Structure 1
């Protein structure tokens, strides 16, 4: 008798989470460069071969936490309510993330999250790997925009996706800088909402009012 596909998927997900949790715990305790793959596999109680099945590189053990968010902008556009524009859906989704203190928005001031972000920023190899996920976010968003809101001008969806992903990244980075400077998430929240409003206004209306 074979396992039900759903059971296998859940087991695989539990294994993946166990590996990632063990890696994150060790990385935060000792530093990314000080922890070896063998140590992570032992802590997660899996073989090294199993570890690499789920995470092809040591960097993926860290950046893999961002993988689930790579297609989030695209999903937000695809799942938007009837009558809602892509930019309205993305703006509202970001505001909802700010209210929930979603780490992706940069407005999560819990010590483990701040330590995790500092670790990523301290390792060039992690930042390089993060760019791959950002490129994926741009690609999937461009494909979704092209399908749901086709433009008669070729390349418009790609240009729009690059600008949108850049705006989301910049807003998150600005929030993280404020927290790093000593502000709490609660103190930063009104400014973060205001900054998001300005950023999406630029996306909606362009830069003509500012630099033309």
Structure 2
């Protein structure tokens, strides 16, 4: 008898998570360029073809955590209430992430999260792949904003604001400050950045 669909799906999730966890542990211990796909497959106890069924590239093994947020800005704008402007909705969403100390905001001081971000930011191939994720997010956001160049410009500004805020928060924590100490500054920075963006875009 074949396995129930739900059980197969759960097994796939567990396999994907096991592969990703093995990869990240090896990358953090040895460095991205010093770990081969074969090393990761052996540690996760899967074949290389199985690994590539879940992750198309070596970079995706670590950047899937960012990919899990793919299209998030577009979803926030698309799902907002009719009386809420796009930039206001995005501001609220980013603030909520700061309140929850979400790693994607840079405001998280768990040692593995800090090390994870350091690895991404200092490894050229990972930084380049992350840029592509951001460009994809920018395109998705532009598609739900105003048509034409104005929508594309606003989308580019929003993604840039989020990137700068997150990188600033991470750098303060990487320099040794606890997240709760950085949080008031992170909130103030986010409020200022989104307020300036809203004014620059005439209340969008």
* CA distance in 2: counterparts of 1:67 and 1:56, whole angstroms: 12
2:193 paired with 1:191: no
TM norm structure 2: 0.92
**What SS does structure 2 have at the residue aligned with 1:58?**
coil
- Aligned position for 1:169: 163
Query: Cα–Cα, structure 1 residues 156 and 2, in superposed 2: closer, same or farther, change >3 Å?
Result: farther
| Unmatched runs of 5 consecutive residues or more in structure 2 | none
SS at match of 2:194: helix
Question: 1:84 — aligned with what?
Answer: 84
State yes or no: 1:157 paired with 2:151. yes
Distance 1:4 1:93 in 2: 37
The two structures, once aligned, show a CA RMSD in angstroms of 1.7
Q: Which moved further from structure 2: 5-14 or 74-83?
A: 5-14
Q: CA deviation at 1:2?
A: 4.5
Tell me how far apart the structure 1 counterparts of residues 179 and 112 of structure 2 sit (CA, whole Å).
14
Alignment of 1:20-99 (within 5 A): 20-99=20-99
Deviations 1:1-48 (A, max 9, x none): 544444433322222111101101111122212211111111112111
Count of residues paired in the alignment:
202
Partner Cα distance (1:163, 1:139) in 2 = 12
- Structure 1 length-normalised TM: 0.89
The question of whether the paired residues in 1 share the 8 Å contact of 2:154 and 2:201 is answered with no
